[in-house]
Structure 1
Amino acid sequence: MSLQPSESERSIGSRDLTSWRSRPGRWLRQVFGALAERLRNTELAVLVLLALAAALAIGGTMLAGEIYEAVVAGSSVALLDRPVLDWMISVRTPTLNAVIATFSASGGQLWMSVITGIAITVVCLRWRRWTPLVLMLITVGGSLGMTVAGKRLTDRARPPLAESIPPPETSASFPSGHALNSIVIAGMFCYLLISHLTGVAARAATVTLTVLYVLAMGLSRVYLGHHWLTDVLASWCLGVAWLSVVITCHRLWLSQHRDHSLRRRPIAPTA
């Protein structure tokens, strides 16, 4: 198996991932290229960029937690959280409770790790590439870092135990680990798959299923009374931000390797 980028990785449909159309994108590409040349190692340059991004992401989570606490102290957040939880409680039924609890459990640390591990192993073996594993490890690592930082800083109380469906959760409420991990893991799988799918309908179906899964997992936490709605909304925002960072770094890596390939390509002799 290889870590070198393949042709299928470099595009999603007609979209060339190594082409930077916006001015900020082109500037970032130039900065990364200069860093890679200085370090004389593209992979090391990516790791340096990701380490910086991870530090910023965790710092951003802590800052968001401080702002979040200030908002909660002003009780304005309750205007959204309490009515939504009350509505969720009103539509509960024993059957629906069992179904949603089982589905939500699949997004916990144990089952999510097992499912993700099996899926990423199948993808790596089928494509004969290490790239999916590396991208997933980086994605999950950042997500876990943001979850731990947010929970330790805010220590926000979860909804009352009397209004939650067992088993009870004991960690802090913000951010929602289920919501954050589900969006980054499902999002990364979606990104990997659509780069290898050739049909527009197949790519559209993959994106749609990913969005529905992320929405269902996040809202299941509110339905069960394990999180406030704002915990889930904040987690989705953090997840999208981190996923964007990892995908951007992957695109920079692809672009740098493409540039190296073009430079090494022999020039055809002229007649």
Structure 2
Amino acid sequence: MADRSASAGIAHSPEGRRTVGMLALVLLAIAGLSAVAVWGAGEILEAVGERDGVALWDRPVLDWAIGQRRPGPVSALLWFTNAGGPIWQPIIMAALALFLWWRWRNPTPFVLIAMAEVGAVLISSTTKRVVDRARPPQIDAVPPFEVSPSFPSGHTMQAFAAATIIAYLLIRYLWDRPRWLQAMIGLLALAYACLMGFSRVFLGYHWLTDVLAAAMLGIAWSAVVIACHRVWLRRSRSRPRQRLEHRTARSSDPDDTMTA
């Protein structure tokens, strides 16, 4: 009974109401962002199926990329895109997550980055099998060739999901630092993810629509991970307050005094 009373007191206190209200607004915004992103990916898939809308840009953009290829940029983008592949991407992200865990003495970075990576892989691989879209012709691609289904781009989805979570973690950690620094972190994360998507189209491994849909799905999934973290933070912060309220209630309980 004391625990329930303490919990109720916290929830109905001015500070508790403000906290719950802010959490509700954050979750509502995240849900809206995820819904819009998933809807956008669905619209792109529909355009691909009907061969209209944004899908009409697939061939012209690939033709432009072919015309812009030079040995230097191709070599650099090959190295970059391989670093974001199924082998090196998990290794790099695991190393970064472990470093942040050690540096901050907190396992949260490892848990969130792992959720982002694993979820992105599962969503992209499942969607690939369901849609089963063919990649651009190998004559238009740079070796080594890839043969798995094309929609959506797994590299791009993982890049957007991981970059969003890492930016979220760093901005939270540096929340009291200048806003320009936080904006720079967000821009660098966005630049990394966009460059990964660009490399997939430039090298002929994916159509433009594969990359656009993957970016939206990556953002949607990372928003879900962030929402889970916000709820967990709320619950973990409320427990010490409940214990404090419980101890305070028991110390002023006449029955406790009589027993003593």
- Give the alignment partner of residue 199 of structure 1, picking from 170, 177, 180: 177
- Give the alignment partner of residue 48 of structure 2, picking from 72, 76, 94: 72
RMSD, aligned α-carbons = 3.0
The structural deviation recorded for 1:23 is 5.7
- Provide structure 2 residue ranges, at least 5 long, that are not aligned to the other structure: 1-17, 253-260
User: What is the rounded CA distance, in whole Å, between the counterparts of 2:104 and 2:77 in structure 1?
Assistant: 34
User: What is the rounded CA distance, in whole Å, between the counterparts of 1:86 and 1:252 in structure 2?
Assistant: 46
Identity of aligned residues (%): 40
One-letter identity of the residue aligned with 1:21: M
Deviations 1:35-60, CA, capped at 9 Å, x for gaps: xxxxxxxxxxxxxxxxxx9xx99xx7
Alignment match, 1:21: 22
Alignment match, 2:214: 235
Alignment of 1:95-106 (within 5 A): 95-106=72-83
Structure 1 SS opposite 2:150: coil
Pick closer, same or farther for the CA change 1:18–1:163 going to 2, 3 Å: farther
Q: Is the 8 A contact 1:183 1:240 kept in 2?
A: yes
Q: Is the 8 A contact 1:20 1:26 kept in 2?
A: no
Q: Is the 8 A contact 2:62 2:204 kept in 1?
A: yes
Alignment match, 1:40: none
Alignment match, 1:251: 230
User: What is the rounded CA distance, in whole Å, between the counterparts of 1:150 and 1:182 in structure 2?
Assistant: 17
Q: Is the 8 A contact 1:72 1:78 kept in 2?
A: yes
Structure 2 SS opposite 1:165: coil
User: What is the rounded CA distance, in whole Å, between the counterparts of 1:254 and 1:18 in structure 2?
Assistant: 11
Q: Which has the larger radius of gyration?
A: 2
Alignment match, 1:151: 128
Alignment match, 2:4: none
- Provide structure 1 residue ranges, at least 5 long, that are not aligned to the other structure: 1-16, 29-52
Alignment of 1:1-271 (within 5 A): 20-21=21-22, 70-76=46-52, 77-197=54-174, 198-200=176-178, 201-266=180-245, 267=248
For normalisation by structure 2, the TM-score amounts to: 0.77
Q: Is the 8 A contact 1:150 1:175 kept in 2?
A: yes
Deviations 1:115-156, CA, capped at 9 Å, x for gaps: 111111111111111111111222212111111111111110
User: What is the rounded CA distance, in whole Å, between the counterparts of 1:162 and 1:73 in structure 2?
Assistant: 23
For normalisation by structure 1, the TM-score amounts to: 0.74
User: What is the rounded CA distance, in whole Å, between the counterparts of 1:169 and 1:26 in structure 2?
Assistant: 38
Number of aligned positions between the proteins: 224
Pick closer, same or farther for the CA change 1:25–1:93 going to 2, 3 Å: closer
One-letter identity of the residue aligned with 1:257: S
User: What is the rounded CA distance, in whole Å, between the counterparts of 1:253 and 1:235 in structure 2?
Assistant: 27
